[in-house]
Amino acid sequence: MTMKRPLYLHRTITRHGRVAWYFWRGRGHKKIRINGEYGTVEFNNSYASALAGTTVIEPEKAKETPETLAWLIARYRETSAWSELSIATRRQRENIFKRVLAVSGQREYKSIKRADIVAVRDRKRHTASAANNFINTMKKMFEWALDAGLLNVNPAADVKSVKRPRTGGFKQWTLDEIEQFEARWPVGTRERLALAILLYTGLRRGDAARLGRQHIKNGIIELRTEKTGTPVVIPVLGSLQRIIDATPINGLTLICRHDGNAMVKEGFGNWFKKACKAAGVPGSAHGLRKAGAARAAEEGATVNQLNAIYGWTGTRMASLYTEKADRAKMAREFMEKLENK
């Protein structure tokens, strides 16, 4: 059976008779050469980085002197431990490695100590997510190096994460805010379609940005999440289907740029924030995901049902919503009893 060629991947023959592969989104976009032989780890990493909108750190540009940190990072990126990560995680770690290489790429990797990891963490402590992403990235790379026999000690193994401030995370949308957004962006606009997808599917912004007709069959959305690779199965509600049907869509992707090309996660998030600002609401894409989960729990969705819709595993995340819904329900029932006495 012939395998379908990955999105935006083009094959050419050079003047020397060799096969070359390029990532190209179309007119107005730069062609990106894909490194390695088709199907290899190097090729897949290069394609994933191009699709994610990041730049691959080329081995020759990283000055891979053996025993340096640049050399170790390059070797790590050739492993299954790297290729098995989601595109979103690889993109995040590419950005971290880029900054690490700029400062310490030529340092001998065996000379890196726990104190070095702690020092970088402390410089980033005011942004907990940045500090913790750095720690986790270095921890996983050195863990691989330890297993490969390249190190005797993982210098990041016991470095503690930065505690996140108790802010409650992204603001959950209220019903009034949803209605205000809908009033500003009527059915038929891309903005209204984005709202509906985020609200009625619970997809993260990266998955909402790549959602297309190919993921919908017989009224069911099926895809693997970008962040964790978890398969999700979501029924297309009538409200969502009506908005999809009423919105002009070019190609497969439901929400695309004006030039017809798909958005990357960050671009989608920034574009949606501008739509929120225009509507006068302080919301975000993730805040709609929280509103959808809360609404589903209030309607009686179980932990397993929430996991299936939102791509969560275990019980922690889903339980936050079901427990809150249960408390609200019990409070209402108690107040009704008092009222009827």
**Tell me: the pLDDT tens digits for 256-306?**
877 777 788 888 888 988 999 999 988 777 777 777 666 666 656 676 766
Residue 23: φ, ψ to 5°: -100, 120
- Mean pLDDT, the chain, as a whole number? 79
In the chain, where the domains are located: 9-88+98-103, 112-163, 175-340
When comparing pLDDT for 77 and 339, which is higher? 77
Domain 175-340, architecture per CATH: Orthogonal Bundle (1.10)
Write down the pTM of the prediction.
0.53
pLDDT-based confidence at residue 153 (cuts at 50, 70, 90): very high
Tokens 């606009």 -> residue:
189
Is the pLDDT at 61 greater than 50, yes or no?
Answer: no
How high is the pLDDT of residue 317?
57
- Residue 336 confidence (pLDDT): 55
Mean pLDDT of 172-177: 78
Determine contact, residues 226/210, Cβ cutoff 8 Å.
yes
Which whole number is the average pLDDT over 95-112?
Answer: 91
